[in-house]
Amino acid sequence: MNSKPKVYKSKVVNIKHGSGFTYVEPVNLYGCEFGQNVFVGPFVEIQTNVKIGNNTRIQSHTFICELVTIGNNCFIGHGVMFINDLFSKGGPAQGDQSLWKKTEIGNNVSVGSNATILPVTICNDVVIGAGSVVTKDITEQGVYAGNPARKIR
C-alpha cells in the first residue's frame, strides 16, 4: 500500500465562449459552450454538450451534466445538481449514453441553491425555489417549490 494515489487536476478543455466569459478556479469545464457575459463560480463541473446562453450566472458547487441547455439571463444558484440518468434499468446507465435524457431551461429562469433538476423542459420566466426537486416539465411561468416542485404562485 505504498503506491501513490492518482491525482486528477481541474481542467478547462475544448470550450467555446463569447466575449465577457469569466470563470473562477477550480472548475472542470469540457466540451461545453458559453454565450456572452457568462459567469461560472468555483467548484463547478460542466460536461460535454452543454450550452449556456448569454448573461447567465452559474454559482459555486454546481454540477451540470451532459445534454443540458440553459437559456439567456438565467441564474443557477449554489449547489444545483442536474441529472441526465433516470436509472431506467434499475441502476446507473454506466456509460450507456442512449439512456441519458436531455434538459432544456428557457430564458430568465432562476434556480435556487441546492435544487435538483431531472431531465425536464422549463419554460421562460420561471423561479425554482431553493432545495426543490423538479421532476416534470414546467410549461407555465411562475414560482415553483418543493419536492416534487409545484407551482406556488
Host domain of residue 123:
12-85+97-151
Residue 65 lies in a domain: yes
The CA distance from 143 to 55, in Å, is 21
CB 53 within 8 A of CB 33: no
Q: Is residue 142 part of a domain?
A: yes
pTM of structure? 0.94
107 Cβ contact list (under 8 Å, min separation 6): 53, 71, 72, 73, 74, 124, 125
What is the CATH number for 55? 2.160.10.10
State the DSSP code for 6.
P
How many structural domains is the chain composed of? 1
Q: How far apart are CA 52 and CA 32, in angstroms?
A: 8
pLDDT score, position 87:
85
Query: What confidence tens digit (pLDDT) does each residue in 64-120 have?
Result: 999 999 999 999 999 999 999 888 888 888 878 888 899 999 999 999 999 999 999
Q: Which residues pair with 100 in a beta bridge?
A: none
